[in-house]
Amino acid sequence: MDSDEPIVFAIDDDASMREALARLFRSIGMRASMFSSAEEFLKFKRPDAPAALVLDVRLPGLSGLELQRELNGSGIPIIYITGHGDIPMSVEAMKAGAVEFLTKPFRDQVLLDAISVAIKRDRENRKERAEVAECRARYELLTQREREVLSHVVEGLMNKQIAAKLGTSEFTVKIHRKGVMQKMKAGSVAELVRMAQKLELPSLKH
Amino acid sequence: MSTSSGKVFRDQVFSNYLVAVIVVWLAVLITLCLGPALKHTLTFFFCAVMVSSWYGGLWPGLLTAFLSILALDFYFIPPLYSLGIAVAELPDMLAFSATALFISWLNSDQRKVKSSLRQARDELDANIRERTADLNRANLQLQSEIAERRVAEEGLLQAQNELARIARITTMGELAASIAHELNQPLGSIVVNGDACLRWLEGTPPNLEEARQAVEAIIRDGTRASDVLVRTRKLVRRDEGTRESLDVNAVIQEVVVWTNDKLQRSGTQLRLKLQEDLPPVIADRVQLQQVILNLVMNAIEAMLEVSPEARTLWIRTERQVFGDLLVQVADSGSGIDPKHSRQIFEPFYTTKTNGIGMGLTISRSIIEAHGGRLWIGKADGGSTLCFILPIKRERPRG
Residue A205 confidence (pLDDT): 43
On whether the CB atoms of residues B215 and B189 are closer than 8 A, the answer is: no
Residue B363 confidence (pLDDT): 85
What's the average model confidence in pLDDT over B62-80?
84
The CA R_g of chain A, rounded to the nearest whole Å, is 23
Residue B223 confidence (pLDDT): 92
Give this complex's ipTM. Answer: 0.76
Lowest mean pLDDT among B51-65, B246-260, B275-289, B348-362: B348-362
3-state SS of chain A: helix, strand, coil percent to 5? 60, 10, 30
Task: State the Cα–Cα distance between residues A33 and A42, nearest whole angstrom.
Answer: 13
Mean of the per-residue pLDDT values for chain B?
A: 84
Length of chain B in residues, anyone?
Answer: 398
Residue A9 confidence (pLDDT): 95
The per-residue pLDDT for range B246-288, each reduced to its tens digit, is 899 999 998 888 788 778 778 888 999 999 888 889 888 888 8
The per-residue pLDDT for range B303-321, each reduced to its tens digit, is 888 888 889 999 999 998 8
A85/B contact by beta carbon, under 8 A: yes
Residue B245 in this model has a pLDDT that exceeds 70: yes
Mean of the per-residue pLDDT values for chain A?
A: 87
Backbone phi, then psi, for B327, in 5-degree steps? -120, 130
Residue B160 in this model has a pLDDT that exceeds 80: no
Residue B2 in this model has a pLDDT that exceeds 60: no
Beta bridge partners of A79: A54, A100
Task: State the Cα–Cα distance between residues A141 and A152, nearest whole angstrom.
Answer: 18
What's the average model confidence in pLDDT over B86-94?
81
Contacts of B159 (CB under 8 A, 6+ apart): none
pLDDT band at A3 (very low <50, low <70, confident <90, very high): low
Residue A192 in this model has a pLDDT that exceeds 80: yes
Domains by residue range for chain B, with CATH: 2-134 (no CATH), 175-237 (1.10.287), 243-398 (3.30.565.10)
- Alpha carbon B22 to its chain's center: 66
pLDDT band at B338 (very low <50, low <70, confident <90, very high): confident
Lowest mean pLDDT among B126-130, B208-212, B371-375: B371-375
On whether the CB atoms of residues B197 and B217 are closer than 8 A, the answer is: no
What's the average model confidence in pLDDT over B375-383?
83
Tell me which chain B residues have a C-beta less than 8 angstroms from the C-beta of A107: 191, 195
On whether the CB atoms of residues B217 and B192 are closer than 8 A, the answer is: no
Cβ-defined contact of A20 to B224 (cutoff 8 Å): no
Cβ-defined contact of A104 to B196 (cutoff 8 Å): no
- Count CB atoms within 10 A of the CB of residue A170: 13
Task: State the Cα–Cα distance between residues A188 and B159, nearest whole angstrom.
Answer: 87
Residue A204 confidence (pLDDT): 47
Residue B369 confidence (pLDDT): 82
A28/B contact by beta carbon, under 8 A: yes
Tell me which chain A residues have a C-beta less than 8 angstroms from the C-beta of B214: 20, 23
On whether the CB atoms of residues B317 and B278 are closer than 8 A, the answer is: yes
The beta-carbon neighbor of A108 closest among B182, B192, B217 is B192
DSSP B75: I
Task: State the Cα–Cα distance between residues B219 and A71, nearest whole angstrom.
Answer: 36
Chain B residues within 8 angstroms (CB to CB) of chain A: 177, 180-193, 195-196, 199-200, 203, 207, 210, 213-214, 217, 220-221, 224, 261, 264-265, 267
The beta-carbon neighbor of B264 closest among A14, A19, A60 is A60
Question: Which residue, among B259, B240, B247, B231, has the nearest Cα to B164 in the 3D structure?
Answer: B240
Residue B193 in this model has a pLDDT that exceeds 90: yes
Residue B194 in this model has a pLDDT that exceeds 80: yes
Task: State the Cα–Cα distance between residues B19 and B53, nearest whole angstrom.
Answer: 10
DSSP A177: H
Q: Is pLDDT larger for residue B35 or for residue A143? A: A143
Task: State the Cα–Cα distance between residues A3 and B163, nearest whole angstrom.
Answer: 64
A42, A47, A51, A55 alpha-carbon torsion, rounded to 10°: -20
Residue B123 confidence (pLDDT): 94
Cβ contacts from A onto B, under 8 A: 92
pLDDT band at B397 (very low <50, low <70, confident <90, very high): very low
Tell me which chain B residues have a C-beta less than 8 angstroms from the C-beta of A110: none
DSSP A97: T
Domains by residue range for chain A, with CATH: 7-129 (3.40.50.2300), 142-205 (1.10.10.10)
Mutate to test the interface with A, among B179, B183, B185 (most CBs of A within 10 A): B185
Task: State the Cα–Cα distance between residues B67 and B74, nearest whole angstrom.
Answer: 10
- The full DSSP string for B166-211 is HHHHHHHHHTHHHHHHHHHHHHHHHHHHHHHHHHHHHSSS--HHHH
Question: Which residue, among A129, A128, A150, A130, has the nearest Cα to A139 in the 3D structure?
Answer: A150
**HSE (side-chain half, CA atoms, 13 Å) at B93:** 20
Cβ-defined contact of A27 to B200 (cutoff 8 Å): yes
- Count CB atoms within 10 A of the CB of residue B325: 22
Residue A54 confidence (pLDDT): 94
Tell me which chain B residues have a C-beta less than 8 angstroms from the C-beta of A65: none
Residue B49 in this model has a pLDDT that exceeds 90: no
Residue A29 confidence (pLDDT): 92
pLDDT band at A1 (very low <50, low <70, confident <90, very high): very low
User: Distance of CA A48 to CAs A55, A128, A133, A139, B293, Å?
Assistant: 19, 15, 15, 24, 47
The per-residue pLDDT for range A89-144, each reduced to its tens digit, is 778 878 777 898 998 889 999 999 999 999 999 999 889 888 889 999 999 888 98
